[in-house]
Amino acid sequence: MLVHGLLKPRTVKVGDKRLEKRQRSECGNGCAGWTWDENHGITTIRLADPIPIQEKTTLALEGAGTLADAETLQRTVAFRDRLRMVKQAEKLKWAMLLHGQDIKKPHACFAKRRTWKLN
């Protein structure tokens, strides 16, 4: 099971059973536990034994932040992506100017740049 959009959990529980944090290379797909992918912000939870669908099961991720924390993180990541796009476009424009190409109209991302805010 993959959980997106939360911060790194302190503990993961399935029902009353606490799962151990494992390294991805420790057991592959065959052992119970959970891993955290820092690059993508994804918690991967693996169970060794299947749980019947008739059985009610509770999954708890403790210490994974609040909804406000997750929203702030998502807005920050989105802002950084937009900023990276503007920087790349500025470098391209500068390279074109140095190469002798005349740019008459600014690229669309330059016009939108002033309106971007981190709420």
Domain ranges of the chain: 2-64, 70-113
Q: Residue 111 has what pLDDT?
A: 55
Say what the pLDDT of residue 116 is.
Answer: 52
pLDDT of residue 108: 61
Where the chain has pLDDT below 50, the residues are none
Q: Check: CB of residue 44 under 8 Å from CB of residue 32.
A: no
pTM of the model: 0.53
The structure tokens listed for 58 are 């509770």
Q: What is the pLDDT of residue 117?
A: 55
- Cβ partners under 8 Å of residue 58, min gap 6: 13, 14, 15
